[in-house]
């Protein structure tokens, strides 16, 4: 029974905890046991066993007393190690912060705790989330639970692996260019990047130019929506989070009738035939369910160089002053990122911000005529763990360009534009590797996006 608890969805487990059939101590113990049993996957940098069990005992007492319980009461969850957790070390995946212990929780962590969830640990990330594979000198490599020969994605790789392998049914990831959606796709789970400001994030140094988000990861859309409901809400300290978001709309009902879908199979990049086949099949299912589908054309590959200017400049600003002191203990890929970032001038950065504005305008034009934008999450199934993050990617056996423009050109534009997007599983390759579908919506249409995703998930389940 204990081991089975971690294979339950969060909604079911939450109800069992509320009615007393499962104790929070049992739930947390089951998660900790699964973490220990799957230590080979290397999904956690820090496991908070002692504090988690203490919180679980307090949560159990609250159930016995008949206290008012939050929607996540007694549920174990994890937090990516880029996100601040009071009293729990937060390393950023780097020797630079190996012993850093924050005094305060990030907004998302504080809200999750207030809803009753219990932190079981901090999950792995490449240093400062700077690349697309989850490995770093501080902790080694995190393995894909589906097939260890292929990447689990990044930079919320540990979070995705933890959820996929049953080390807690819920996780908080972060997404600066696809870092929730990429590993969600690689590991066969659901991951969401909300509208900019919907889930307040006060960690970026420049809140006005922010393109990094904290968001929910789970094994299905309903659990993702459960966690999103806890995380979203106004915070006057976030310039994009000043007002409460619209309340959930009425469910779409028994079909997608009338939904206007923009389909983007490619945005100027080669696509693996198996990914295209899986994505086409989903779109046909949506059409058969009543959606009105229209192919659209968007050039997102050309945004890659501008996205890199922003990423590399921010990383250089954050790490550059300590580079020489710690160079030998840092990922060579991080060092290269910082060194490139130092070379970008003000003109390049201003051009990148202008390109961000143009990306927003292009997507706004799509949403003038459509309700949802559908695409693959990634151009190909999970890449080999040996893929050079700065090298050329092969798609269907042919060179396709550098990794962002070739493998995930669908994800980073939504970070630049602020539109909500999520990835959900939509099939497997001939090698059994997960394939993800990305759904994107209008600003502040997050609940409708989740509702459509839930309907698509039901269609795929047959």
Residues designated as active site: 80, 155, 179
Cβ–Cβ under 8 Å, residues 107 and 150: no
Strand, helix or coil for residue 9: coil
Looking at the DSSP bridge assignments, the partners of residue 217 are 171, 191
Q: How far is CA 193 from CA 82, 87, 173, 398, in A?
A: 16, 26, 9, 31
Q: Cα dist. 101→37, 95, 173, 214 in Å?
A: 27, 13, 19, 19
Q: What is the residue whose two structure tokens read 């130019």?
A: 209
Q: Which of 129, 155, 126 is nearest to 140 (CA)?
A: 126
Cα–Cα distances (Å) from 386 to 43, 135, 183, 434, in that order, read: 18, 11, 16, 18
How far apart are the C-alpha atoms of 231 and 215, rounded to whole Å? 8
- Run of H or E residues at 191: strand 190-193
Q: Is the dihedral of CA 454, 111, 169, 135 positive or negative?
A: positive
| Whole-Å CA distances, 245 to 231, 386, 449 | 12, 42, 14
170-175 vs 76-80, strand pairing mode:
parallel
- For 371, half-sphere exposure in the C-beta direction (CA atoms, 13 angstrom radius) is 18
The full DSSP string for 382-419 is PPBTT--TTSEEEETTEEEEEHHHHH-TTTHHHHHH--
The Cα–Cα gap between 325 and 315 comes to: 16
State phi, psi for 91 to the nearest 5 degrees: -90, -15
How far is residue 79's CA from residue 122's CA, in Å, rounded to a whole number? 5
């Amino acid at each position: 029974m204990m081991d089975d608890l971690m294979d339950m969805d969060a909604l079911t487990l939450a109800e069992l905890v509320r009615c007393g059939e499962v104790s929070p101590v049992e739930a947390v113990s089951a998660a900790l046991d699964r973490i220990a049993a799957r230590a080979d996957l290397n999904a956690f940098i820090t496991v908070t066993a002692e504090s988690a069990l203490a919180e679980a005992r307090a949560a159990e007492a609250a159930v016995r007393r008949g206290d008012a319980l939050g929607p996540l009461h007694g549920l174990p969850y994890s937090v990516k190690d880029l996100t601040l957790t009071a009293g729990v070390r937060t390393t950023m995946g780097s020797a630079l912060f190996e012993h850093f212990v924050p005094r305060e929780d990030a907004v998302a962590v504080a809200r999750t705790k207030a809803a009753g969830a219990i932190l079981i640990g901090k999950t792995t990330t490449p240093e400062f989330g700077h690349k697309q594979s989850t490995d770093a000198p501080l902790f080694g490599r995190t393995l894909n639970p589906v097939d260890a020969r292929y990447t689990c994605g990044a930079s919320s790789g540990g979070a995705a692996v933890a959820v996929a392998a049953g080390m807690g049914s819920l996780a908080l990831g972060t997404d600066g260019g696809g870092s929730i959606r990429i590993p969600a796709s690689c590991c066969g789970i659901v991951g969401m990047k909300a509208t900019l400001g919907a889930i307040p994030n006060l960690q970026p140094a420049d809140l006005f130019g922010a393109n990094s988000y904290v968001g929910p990861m789970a094994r299905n859309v309903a659990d993702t929506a459960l966690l999103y409901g806890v995380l979203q809400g106004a915070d006057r300290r976030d310039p994009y989070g000043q007002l409460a978001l619209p309340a959930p709309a009425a469910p779409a009902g028994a079909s997608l009738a009338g939904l206007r879908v923009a389909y983007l199979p490619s945005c100027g990049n080669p696509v693996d035939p198996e990914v295209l086949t899986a994505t086409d099949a989903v779109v046909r299912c949506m059409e058969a369910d009543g959606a009105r589908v229209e192919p659209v054309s968007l050039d997102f590959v050309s945004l890659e160089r501008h996205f890199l200017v922003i990423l590399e400049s921010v990383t250089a600003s954050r790490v550059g002053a300590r580079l020489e002191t710690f160079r030998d203990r840092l990922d060579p890929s991080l060092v290269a990122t910082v060194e490139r970032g130092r070379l970008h001038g003000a003109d390049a950065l201003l051009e990148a911000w202008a390109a961000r504005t143009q990306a927003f305008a292009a997507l706004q034009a799509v949403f003038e005529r459509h309700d949802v934008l559908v695409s693959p999450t990634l151009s190909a199934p999970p890449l080999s763990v040996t893929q050079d993050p700065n090298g050329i990617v092969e798609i269907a056996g042919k060179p396709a360009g550098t990794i962002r423009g070739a493998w995930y050109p669908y994800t980073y534009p939504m970070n630049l534009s602020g539109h909500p997007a999520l990835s959900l599983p939509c099939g497997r390759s001939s090698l059994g590797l997960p394939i993800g579908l990305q759904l994107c919506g209008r600003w502040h249409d997050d609940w409708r996006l989740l509702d459509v995703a839930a309907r698509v998930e039901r269609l795929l389940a047959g």
